[in-house]
Chains A and B, each alone.
Chain A
Amino acid sequence: MAEYELLGLFQDVDSAGDAVEALRQVGVSDRSLRVLSAFPLSSKILGRKHYNHKLGLAAGAGALLGFAAAIFFAVITPQLYPIVVGGRPLLNGPPMLILVFELTMLGTLLGGFLGFLWQGGFPSAGGLYDKRIAEGYLGVAVQVDEALLEKVQAAYSAHKPVDLKKAEVKPRPDRRLLIGTIAIVALLAVNFALLAVSFDILHLEFLPDQMKAQISFASQMGPRLGAPAGAVPVPGVALVGGRPATAPLAMTEDSLQRGAILFDIHCAVCHTVDEDEPVTQVASFFPDDGEPPAMTSARVMARTPEQIFTFITDGIGKMPSLAENLYPANRWDVVNDVRSLTPAE
């Protein structure tokens, strides 16, 4: 059955009120009846029932949400992100109160506004309207089905409206759900955009962060300057006149432990401990006569600690210098380790 919307224009409050009354008597329910005006008129003047809206509820809910958000920001997140702030309390009463106050108020305002939009059905495509309403005329609008149409029209004309408009109501889908969904999606999108910025996913700088790259030179950063012409190279302090500049370390347990570890890293690449062991991958590149000797071989056992130290520092034969790898003290650790090795039975 088709629904119709009617809008009657009246010149004053009196006749509008009468029309409302007449329409109600015809059987139009209060719900489908609207009085349109250019400024607020109390429902009493129009002879209408008081409209019980739930704006207070919406504002209250907003206030609660704002309060909860404030508590979340002020109380819970500092626990989630325990920043080291040098003994100052992460929770502090008075500042927290300020935050709670502001966000509660913000929640109330937003809640009130959203409640207003929701309950007023905004944004709506409207319905019948007449520009004369904005000029001071009053409109009485009803929505009735076909059965009641005749009677309603009669009731209208009995009060001599300035104008009477009629339109068929086409069923429209409820757009609130759509709008709500769009709003939520938009909010999420904004949220994710913020997250993206804060997570440095894109490394997007609006202006170059000059502190990220510095004008100072860090270790091993080019361009490296060569030594000035005529500079005398310093041979280093490891050897003086071909002899170690530092004294051997005592064969303590610490030293031996360190030595064993360092041997594994720096020496075991080529050298084996026992002669029976298979040669390492690197050593296999050497011709048979040039193979690195095993540590327990007679050749190595015959060396003095100072000689071994010098070999590590300077290299010997095909063995490169390991000065870059080991500090002098560490070299002595390795020497200690090598000296402590005994041939396998």
Chain B
Amino acid sequence: MSRPTRVWITVIGLVVLLVFIGPFIFGVLASVPNYEQPIVEFSHKRHVQNAGIDCLYCHSGATRSPVSGIPSVEKCMGCHEHVLSGEAPIVKLQEYWENGEPISWTRVYQLPRYVHYPHHVHVSAGLNCETCHGNVGEMDIVTPAQIPNMGWCIRCHQGEENAVELMDCLNCHY
């Protein structure tokens, strides 16, 4: 093989690599999520393990509505008006409270919007929060315990007694 041929083959090979593998690399890089929260110091671990607060105290929607709900600033302030009120992160919280602004928490679990997942039905069926969300009580910064894709839903529904009913597409997609 002559030198120019080798150069050409290398160039073509690189182009092919770029065309076929480039998008995949780009896709991987683009899909690396960032779960940094607006109040960085907020720790689930401290609330659950140290303070012994139940998940449902803050996310009380989970028992009675399709969404579990993010607690309002009012609910945060309910305790933090008195608890640790001088600390730096709580001062940040108080700023939100005084400005009358909601905290724009970063969403960790995001289902596509064409999927309708009812929390209350799953909780009333006896599922624990930890089944899907992992041991949040051990996490300072919450990261997804699993990728909530369809295969994951299906694998759970498959094992149930009324699997035929649960595997119906129209259950979640409408």
Q: Which residues does A use to contact B, with CB under 8 Å?
A: 82-84, 196, 199-200, 202-204, 209, 211-214, 216, 218-220, 222, 224, 264-266, 269, 280-282, 285-286, 290, 315, 318, 320-321, 324-327
Are A327 and B64 CB-contacts (below 8 A) given A212-B112, A269-B51, A269-B52?
yes
Q: Which residues does B use to contact A, with CB under 8 Å?
A: 23-24, 27-28, 31, 50-54, 56-57, 60, 64, 66-67, 69-72, 74-75, 77-79, 81-84, 102, 104, 112-114, 149, 151, 164, 167-169
Are A211 and B70 CB-contacts (below 8 A) given A200-B149, A282-B79?
no
Which B-chain residue is minimally distant from A280 (CB atoms)? B52
B113 touches A265 (CB 8 A): no
Are A324 and B28 CB-contacts (below 8 A) given A264-B54, A269-B53, A280-B52?
no
B79 / chain A contacts, CB cutoff of 8 Å: 282, 320
Which A-chain residue is minimally distant from B77 (CB atoms)? A320
The 4 closest A-B CB pairs, nearest first, are A320-B78, A204-B27, A214-B113, A212-B112
B167 / chain A contacts, CB cutoff of 8 Å: 82-84
Query: Can you list 23 contacts pairing A with B, beta carbon distance less than 8 Å?
Result: A83-B169, A84-B169, A202-B27, A202-B28, A211-B114, A219-B67, A265-B54, A265-B57, A265-B60, A269-B51, A269-B52, A269-B54, A281-B50, A282-B52, A285-B83, A315-B78, A318-B81, A321-B78, A324-B60, A324-B71, A324-B72, A324-B75, A326-B60
A220 / chain B contacts, CB cutoff of 8 Å: 67, 69-70
B57 / chain A contacts, CB cutoff of 8 Å: 265-266, 269, 325
B114 / chain A contacts, CB cutoff of 8 Å: 211-212, 214
B70 / chain A contacts, CB cutoff of 8 Å: 220
Most chain B beta-carbon neighbours within 10 Å: one of A83, A212, A214: A212
